[in-house]
């Protein structure tokens, strides 16, 4: 049986395809992000080089930025792409769902992901991490066919951000102008 391979999950509409198995040393070896620490995973050995880690959940809040660390195999250069299904529609094709990209490297890649206050829905959704040999992933790569690499999906819980409570406390230096009135 395929560990972690779920093709009928309601929030995963597609399983990306790689034409070469990740045993070719093209894989994600580690990810650290917002409570997920999935290190030293190696090649998952599943069909299409895909795995859904159902027990790993990132915990984030709107209007906050989180660091991400992605480790490839140390044999071949891998570019990383990260997508979050913010509107819970089962794809990663909507504006702002492509949240991180890095050029191909054999070294650990670090960066930041900002969860905007404009995220349409809070709650549980899916985060996709892909490595693709020799390229810098683009938003169009969330579910396309590649030759070498690996895809890992994770749960992500997005907490609603606190409402902004802006108000005037004091007007320290009032200014008059012909465009201003007291009413």
Integer CA distances (angstroms), 152 to 21, 91, 126, 160, in order? 14, 15, 10, 25
Question: What would the pLDDT profile of 4-18 be if each residue is shown by its tens digit?
Answer: 455 455 677 788 889
What pLDDT does residue 178 have?
A: 43
What pLDDT does residue 175 have?
A: 58
How far is residue 3 CA from its own chain's centroid? 22
- 165 pLDDT more than 60: no
pTM score: 0.83
What pLDDT does residue 2 have?
A: 39
CB 182 within 8 A of CB 123: no
What pLDDT does residue 74 have?
A: 86
Q: Which of 94, 77, 76 minimizes the C-alpha distance to 85?
A: 94
- 179 pLDDT more than 50: no
Question: What would the pLDDT profile of 142-156 be if each residue is shown by its tens digit?
Answer: 999 999 999 999 999
pLDDT top residue among 50 and 177:
50
What pLDDT does residue 118 have?
A: 83
Question: What would the pLDDT profile of 65-98 be if each residue is shown by its tens digit?
Answer: 999 999 999 899 999 999 999 999 889 999 899 9
What pLDDT does residue 177 have?
A: 43
Q: Which of 134, 135, 130, 136 minimizes the C-alpha distance to 150?
A: 130
Question: What would the pLDDT profile of 19-68 be if each residue is shown by its tens digit?
Answer: 998 878 999 999 999 999 999 999 888 878 999 998 899 999 999 999 99
CB 146 within 8 A of CB 132: yes
Following DSSP, what letter does each residue of 23-52 receive, concatenated? GGT-SEEEEEETTEEEES------GGGEEE
Question: What would the pLDDT profile of 102-131 be if each residue is shown by its tens digit?
Answer: 999 999 999 999 999 888 888 999 999 999
């Amino acid at each position: 049986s395929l560990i972690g391979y779920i093709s009928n999950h309601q929030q995963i509409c597609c399983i990306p395809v790689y034409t070469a198995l990740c045993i070719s040393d093209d894989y994600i070896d580690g990810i650290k992000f917002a409570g997920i620490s999935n290190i030293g995973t190696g090649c998952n050995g599943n069909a299409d080089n895909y795995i859904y880690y159902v027990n790993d959940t990132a915990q984030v809040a709107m209007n906050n930025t989180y660091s991400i660390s992605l480790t490839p195999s140390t044999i071949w250069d891998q570019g990383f792409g990260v997508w979050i299904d913010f509107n819970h529609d089962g794809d990663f094709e909507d504006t702002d769902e492509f949240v991180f990209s890095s050029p191909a490297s054999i070294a650990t890649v670090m960066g930041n992901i900002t969860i905007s206050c404009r995220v349409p829905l809070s709650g549980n959704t899916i985060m996709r991490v892909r490595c693709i040999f020799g390229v810098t992933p683009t938003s169009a790569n969330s579910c396309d066919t590649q030759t070498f690499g690996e895809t890992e999906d994770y749960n992500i819980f997005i907490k609603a951000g606190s409402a902004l409570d802006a108000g005037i406390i004091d007007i320290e230096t009032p200014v008059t102008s012909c465009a201003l009135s007291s009413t």
